[in-house]
Structure 1
Amino acid sequence: MPDPEDFRFDGIGTRWEISTPRPLDASVRARLLALVERYDGDWSRFRSDSTVGAMARQPGRYELPPEAADLGRLYRSLYEVTGGAMTPLIGGSLERLGYDAAYSLRPAGNALPAPHWEDVLTWDGNVLTTTAPLVLDIGATGKGQLVDLLAIELRSCGVDSFVIDASGDLLHRGPDPVSVALEHPYDPARAIGTVPLAGGALCASASNRRAWGDGLHHVLDGKTGLPVRRAVATWTMAESTMVADALATALFFVPGKELERSFDFSWLTVFSDGSAAYSAGFEGTLFS
């Protein structure tokens, strides 16, 4: 897309950039911002006025927007594939280690495993019923889903060529591929390779992002409440940004070849010893 016009804004705690061949009309920008605000108001665990914030205060029946159905199905599938390691119930574990609404970044005690899904949560379509106060955290998937929802909004406004960049979670639509650098897991100023992106999503997850304290970071194992150690960075490519986003986290718990049995995607995982594993369909170039 030559000479793109960028629409930049902050939303759901991160920086966004939408590139289009021509500037977006003010009305289109307003619709996009309203969608981001609505999503944050439903799903943010950092807002006391959100639906998720209400769940943290008392159990009950909570009705969420239609996107909740897809979100619940994907999380339930990955909860089962990872044996409970990847779970939307990880919010309380993150808060215990200091990644709380106040961003205190100070652990409040020993690591806390996430509750078992079956004990506290029934997720039926867009209705969630809880039996105890719980801190729902959809951080492993929600940003990707919001990218997809913004893409639908853009297309409904007649915008068919664009790149949505949600701080590294990318969705490309249009005729001209883009080349994307793969950030070095230990040095954000360097790249370990590049990958062409043409008409799909590319998502990344890394333990150096949202890290604090002594070896603490945001990718926790739901079974222990502790940060994962072996994988340090992952990249995934899929048609859906929501799926790519979720699988970028799932790769910290399950080998990519195992995830390929259930999902159509390509992937790259870099481990703490400097080695890497990747799928045959991952068309990136790694630097030597």
Structure 2
Amino acid sequence: MAREVGSSSMPHLTAFPEALGTGIIINTAKPVGSGLRARMGHLIEAYESTLSRFRDDSIPAAMAESDRGGSFDFPEYCQGLFDLYDCLYLATGGALDPAVGADLVRLGYGRDMTFRMSADAVDHLGRIRGRATWGDDVERVGTTLRTTGSVQLDFGALGKGYLVDLLAGILEHAQGTYRVGDYLIDAGGDMRIHAPKAVSIAMEDPDDLTKAVGLVSMVSGSLCASAPSRRRWTAPRKDGAAGGLMVLHHIVNAIDGWPVRRVEATWVVVGRDGNDGEQGAGASICNQGQCSPERSGRDWTPDRVPRKGQNPGKGKDGRLADLYPTALADGLSTALFLVDANDLAEHFSFACATIDDNRRAVVSRGFPGTIFTG
């Protein structure tokens, strides 16, 4: 939902128009050589063919079609992605769950893109009606997932942001003539920025995508936005109420399986450094102009994968937020639709802004922007 306004100090453009369904645009201070571009292109193709539930050749597709389950080996680069899902699954009490893919299919957002809700959806949506869950029905050993039945995974809550971080790693580790200097990666509103001066980013109005509701200014860090504006469809109401149709979208509470209603849009910033202003620990959240007390937020990087109520601890390899700031921001921008920001702030360090269904804007301490509505 965020749109770049300017990056004149990074004039060289590299685009992957078909990537992830939204396209990926990379601005760099120096040109991206053909070899480096090819390496990123190969990563994008491998990533999508591995993780996208919309592709017949992906691992999630095989898991969904395996009625007896099985053991499914993912690439080693998925370790951080699965760690983050573990953390966010626990932090949201299971409301953010990659096993929500089955709910999305029943709601009409499946591989066939029918956008027609299945006749039995009401009886099967969500964990409360017996849908498989990440915490109880998927056993993880490193990057191997084991199941005893069909599980339909959807990695959309973190997937774009995680790929952005992997691409940033390629750029940052390029050596010699391949070095590109400063960069800005934009994957349909999921951004990672390392710029010599502030970049201005417009915040799209969830009710009118041609307008902005605010402006963010950042030198470094990750910014991700979420809103159901671009993926909405309708289905007949099941309760016989007047009006006949209900609006559905892709941001679903995995507990009951229904699209969330009370939030219109979210923006999350993770990983801003000291040269770009202070983000603050734990993102003290403002509510109707009053800020709650500071909370001692921390990032989770488990030594062992936390499952089924275990408490995650600090890992040996540094914080997940340091390694994958865009993925974390991506996941938190979805989590803010599901749980209160102050609850998330007890576990993660971030800054955020939200707009609810009454057009009320809430902005956290340390958020590097201004909202014009609310």
TM-score scaled by structure 2? 0.74
Deviation of the 1:55 alpha carbon? 0.9
Q: Counterpart of 1:38?
A: 46
C-alpha deviations, 1:11-68, integer Å up to 9, x for none? 1222111111233111111111100001111101011111111111111111111232
Map Cα deviations across residues 191-232 of structure 1 (whole Å, 9 max, x no partner): 111011211000000021211123111000101110000011
TM-score (norm 1): 0.96
Q: What amino acid does structure 2 have at the position aligned with 1:30?
A: A
Q: How does 1:42-53 map to 2 (within 5 A)?
A: 42-53=50-61
Partner of 2:264: 232
Is it true that 1:202 corresponds to 2:223 in the alignment?
A: yes
Partner of residue 13, structure 1 = 21
Aligned partners of 2:329, 2:219: CA distance in 1, in Å? 14
Query: Residues 80-229 of structure 1 correspond to what in structure 2 (within 5 A)?
Result: 80-109=90-119, 110-111=121-122, 112-113=125-126, 114-157=131-174, 158-213=179-234, 214-229=246-261
Cross-structure match for 1:283? 368
Aligned partner of residue 266 in structure 2, secondary structure: strand
Task: Name the CA shift for 1:2/1:175 in 2 (closer, same or farther; >3 Å).
Answer: closer
Q: How does 1:255-266 map to 2 (within 5 A)?
A: 255-266=340-351
Higher mean alpha-carbon deviation, 86-95 vs 12-21, is at 12-21
What letter corresponds to residue 245 of structure 1 in structure 2?
Answer: D
Please give the alpha-carbon distance, in whole angstroms, between the structure 1 residues aligned to 2:135 and 2:55: 26
Higher alpha-carbon Rg = 2
Q: What amino acid maps onto 2:264 in structure 1?
A: V
Asked whether the equivalents of residues 95 and 255 of structure 2 are also in contact (C-alpha less than 8 Å), the reply is yes
Structure 2, unaligned runs of 5 or more: 1-7, 235-245, 272-324
8 Å CA contact retained: 1:56, 1:133 = yes
Counterparts of 1:140 and 1:233, CA distance in 2: 14
1:94-127 deviation per Cα after TM superposition (whole angstroms, max 9, x unaligned): 0111111111111113241142334421122211
Instruction: Give me the identity figure in percent.
Output: 41
Q: Which among 69, 77, 82 is matched to residue 79 of structure 2?
A: 69
> Relative CO higher for 1 or 2, CA cutoff 8 Å, sep ≥ 6?
2
Regions of 4+ moved over 6 Å: none
Unpaired segments ≥5 residues, structure 1? none
Amino acid at match of 2:335: A
